[in-house]
Amino acid sequence: MVKYRIRRFNQETDIDEVQQVNSVCLPENYPKFFFLEIADKFPEGFNVAEIDEDLGEIIGYEMTRIERGLSNFGFGICKKGHIISIAVLDKYRRLQIAKKLMAAAHDALRLRAVREVYLEVRESNQAAVNLYQKLGYHQHKISRHYYTDGESAIIMVSKI
Ligand SMILES: CC(C)(COP(=O)(O)OP(=O)(O)OC[C@H]1O[C@@H](n2cnc3c(N)ncnc32)[C@H](O)[C@@H]1OP(=O)(O)O)[C@@H](O)C(=O)NCCC(=O)NCCS
C-alpha cells in the first residue's frame, strides 16, 4: 500500500522534482519560470502528491490557472479554471492519485469563487479522458492540430 499525501507545491524545494515528473510523463514540457509563474499567481491551485516518508519523493502534480473568459455554461464573462498540466509517475498510477490532485484543484478554485473549469487533452489519451469523464467533465469541442506534433486536442469542460 503506497502512502502519499497531497500538499501545496513549494517553489523553493519542489520545482526540480515537478519538472522531472513533467518531463518523463508528458511531451509538453515547460521552462522553470513557467511553473513558478503559475505558482505565484495561484499558489493553492498548484499541488503535488508526495510519498509519505522521510524523503518525500514527489510522484505527481497538477497546476491550474484562473482566467477570465466566456463561460461554457451560459454565465457570460466569468472566471474559469484552466487545468494546465497533471501527471503521475508511471509506477504510481491507478491509485486514485490524479483524482485527488484534481479534487485539490477544484477545491482551490471553488474557494476563489470559480464555478467552471476546462482543460485540453490529446485525442489519443484515453486514460486522461476517462479520468476527466469520471470527474464530470464532458467534451466541449475539438481544437484541430492543437499540439506541436499536429495532434488535435479535446477541450473538456465541467461545472465545479
Ligand atoms: C492520466 C493520469 C494523470 C492518470 O493518473 P492516475 O493517478 O493513474 O489516475 P487515477 O488513479 O486517479 O484514475 C482515476 C480514474 O481515471 C481513469 N483512468 C486512469 N488511468 C487510466 C487508464 N490507464 N486506462 C483507463 N482509464 C484510466 C479510470 O476511470 C480511473 O478510475 P479506476 O482506476 O477506479 O478505474 C496518468 O495516467 C498520467 O500521468 N498520464 C501521463 C500524463 C498525462 O497524460 N496527463 C494528462 C494530460 S491531459
Measured between alpha carbons, how far is 110 from 157 in angstroms, rounded to an integer? 15
pLDDT band at 101 (very low <50, low <70, confident <90, very high): very high
Q: Beta strands 4-8 and 153-159: pairing type?
A: unpaired
Q: What is the pLDDT of residues 119-147, one digit of tens each?
A: 999 999 999 999 999 999 999 999 999 99
- Is the CB of 117 within 6 Å of ligand 1? no
The pLDDT assigned to 92 comes to 97
Secondary structure tally for the chain: helices H, strands E: 4, 7
- Is the CB of 49 within 6 Å of ligand 1? no
CA of 93 to the centre of ligand 1 (A): 7
Homologous superfamily in CATH for domain 4-159: Gcn5-related N-acetyltransferase (GNAT) (3.40.630.30)
- Is the CB of 155 within 6 Å of ligand 1? no
Region class of 5: left (phi > 0), else alpha (psi between -120 and 50), else beta: beta
- Whole-number percent of the chain with pLDDT over 70: 100
Give 36's contacts (C-beta < 8 A, 6+ positions apart): 11, 15
- Is the CB of 134 within 6 Å of ligand 1? yes
Measured between alpha carbons, how far is 151 from 138 in angstroms, rounded to an integer? 19
Measured between alpha carbons, how far is 108 from 64 in angstroms, rounded to an integer? 9
Is a pLDDT exceeding 90 seen at residue 1?
Answer: no
Measured between alpha carbons, how far is 99 from 96 in angstroms, rounded to an integer? 5
Give the global pTM: 0.97
Query: Is the Cβ–Cβ distance between 82 and 65 less than 8 Å?
Result: yes
CA of 130 to the centre of ligand 1 (A): 7
- Interval 80-97 mean pLDDT: 98
Mean pLDDT of all residues in the chain?
97
The pLDDT assigned to 52 comes to 87
Query: Best substitution site from 94, 102, 121 to test ligand 1's pocket, by max atoms within 8 Å of Cβ?
Result: 94
Compute the C-alpha angle 93/98/103, nearest 5°: 160
Q: Per the structure block, which three cell numbers stand in for 72?
A: 461554457
Q: What is the pLDDT of residues 4-52, one digit of tens each?
A: 999 999 999 999 999 999 999 999 999 999 999 999 999 999 999 999 8
Q: Per the structure block, which three cell numbers stand in for 157?
A: 469542460
Instruction: Specify the DSSP element, H or E, that contains 155.
Output: strand 153-159
Domain boundaries in the chain?
A: 4-159
Report the DSSP beta bridge partners of residue 119. Answer: 83, 156
CA of 77 to the centre of ligand 1 (A): 31
CA of 10 to the centre of ligand 1 (A): 24
